[in-house]
Structure formats: structure tokens, C-alpha cells
Structure 1
């Protein structure tokens, strides 16, 4: 997920996307504890995607965009 794509989205869409990604991360972590993951890098990449979304949300809030 590219930051440029995220900047085109509206604030409400970004917040919804952040919630979805957090739920997905929770499921992945649970699966990792129970049975392990085929690709443990998924967790790291997902955390970075969440950080990207939250960064863009904060940028929009500071600019006063909605």
C-alpha cells in the first residue's frame, strides 16, 4: 500500500481502513501464536501499513481536511 494512494482517500475511509488493518493484525498474531505463519514477514508488513495509514490520518487532521 503506497502513501500516495492513501492520501487520495477521505479521512473517514482512512479511519475505517486503519480499523480493518488492526483487526487483521490481531488475527495474524493469534494465528502465529497458535500454529505459526508461513510468512512471518506478514506481521511486520501489516504493522508498517497501519503506521502509514495513521500517519496520513494525522497529516490530514493537521491540515484540517475532512
Structure 2
């Protein structure tokens, strides 16, 4: 998910996406520990997305 897309989301959508992405990375990480993933770069990309979402939430909380 790109930063431009994240800035256009509402606050509730940001929180929902953060929860969903956190849950997804947990499942993918567990799957990767059991058997290697075809594309392990998914983990890196999801971690970056979570960081972007957290950054946007922090930015909006400071503005409010």
C-alpha cells in the first residue's frame, strides 16, 4: 500500500487496515516458519505497510 493511498483513508479505515495487516503478517510469519514461502519479501512489504499505517495514525493524533 502506497503512502498516497494511506493518507486518503479515514481514521476508522486506518485502524481497520492496521488490524487486518497485523493479523495477516502473523499468519504469514507462522506459515513461513513451518514451510518456506514462495515469496518471502511479502513479510518485508507487510512490515513496511504496518509502519506507514502507524506513522499516519500518530500524525493524525498529534494534529487533533
TM-score range, shorter chain: over 0.9
1:8 pairs with 2:5: no
Instruction: In structure 1, list runs of 5 or more residues that go unmatched.
Output: none
Which consecutive segments of 4 or more residues in structure 1 shift more than 4 A? none
Scaled by the length of structure 1, what TM-score is found? 0.92
Instruction: In structure 2, list runs of 5 or more residues that go unmatched.
Output: none
How big is the alpha-carbon RMSD for the aligned residues of Structure 1 and Structure 2? 0.7
Scaled by the length of structure 2, what TM-score is found? 0.94
Deviation of 1:55 (Å) = 0.5
Instruction: Name the structure 1 match of 2:22.
Output: 22
Between Structure 1 and Structure 2, how many residues are aligned? 64
